[in-house]
Structure 1
């Protein structure tokens, strides 16, 4: 299956081929294999570990849970987006710049707030989109601070096992 992010107005951002793993109460889970190429945005990159991506139902975000590796700086990368849309084996969402990132040591930060402010003007984000993105970002921050299960590595662990099993064959 494919995940494709755009910027507001349809400008291509980035995407990749992923493996559908299944769904639970938190949403749909996708596998991102080591060596997978993410392209189409300003920077292409290759996954250095096997990762799992959560696409929550009805929420404006995706959450990538990364495996440990010397070249991998963070454990969790949450993209604040429009609510992802499924169309067969394609998932699309508009990347709204804000990211919440948790490092392996448990520290976290909100990234690209300056880009979010700049793009509100550059791309003409509607006011309701800005409010929704800020609210989703605040919710994610609260979930990380409180250790909410939806963004806990323990929630991703069973999906890592499913992915490893699929890869093993």
Structure 2
């Protein structure tokens, strides 16, 4: 495993983003441009009309531009979507993102998601049923369950109150791809 802070790829470099399930199977995946880093982590961007895939299925079009924040040592990632997409912020509860190289990042999607719809004051916690089902199906260890639940709770508060990267830090990064 490579420490991205020690040898980050230059801005503009394509980065392969691989969300996986706990059994290692490929989940959502896409290629994005590295935009840069700040105190919140590494930012990648994709202009409007980009694509992503679920596993090895056909590409899914993404009409709006978006950026993803990969924080350091946190159990989540955060997507910030450009208008008019109705979901403004979409946070996946994951294992901490691991940079396998300067051009590949991966993490395990732990099912829980925190999202905020455009114009809404409060975020929503979704996919609790899937999280419960996958705890049994994949045998999530107790520390993984605890970390996922703590991250979801932190995100609910942070998104609701504009704490950290949820206070508008994404705007300059999104402007780079919008």
TM-score normalised over the length of structure 1: 0.90
1:131 maps to which of 146, 150, 161: 146
Q: Please list, as runs of the form range in 1=range in 2, the aligned pairs for 1:30-49 lying within 5 A after superposition.
A: 30-41=44-55, 45-49=60-64
CA positional deviation for 1:114: 0.3
- Aligned alpha-carbon RMSD (Å): 1.5
Give 1:32 deviation, angstroms: 1.6
Deviations along 1:33-58, one digit per CA (max 9) or x if unpaired, are 21221113378522111111111111
- Gapped regions of structure 2 (runs ≥ 5): 1-14
| 2:48–2:66 contact (8 Å) kept in structure 1 | yes
* Corresponding residue for residue 116 of structure 1: 131
Segments of 4+ moved more than 2 angstroms: 40-45, 161-164
Equivalent residue, structure 1, for 2:32 = 18
Q: Distance in 2 between matches of 1:146 and 1:133?
A: 20
More helix, by proportion: 1
Aligned to 1:95: 109
Q: CA deviation at 1:161?
A: 2.6
Confirm or deny that 1:80 pairs with 2:93: yes
Seen in structure 2, the aligned counterparts of structure 1 residues 60 and 44 have a Cα distance that, compared at 3 Å, is farther
Q: Confirm or deny that 1:147 pairs with 2:162.
A: yes
CA distance in 1, matches of 2:165, 2:21: 25
Counterpart-to-counterpart distance in 1, 2:123 and 2:58: 23
Deviation at 1:127, TM superposition (A): 0.8
Structure 1, gaps ≥5 residues long: 165-169
The count of corresponding residues between Structure 1 and Structure 2 is 161
CA–CA distance in structure 2, aligned partners of residues 112 and 7 of structure 1: 14
1:34 alignment partner, SS class:
coil
Question: What TM-score comes out, normalization by structure 2 length?
Answer: 0.85
Alpha-carbon offset, residue 99 of structure 1: 0.3
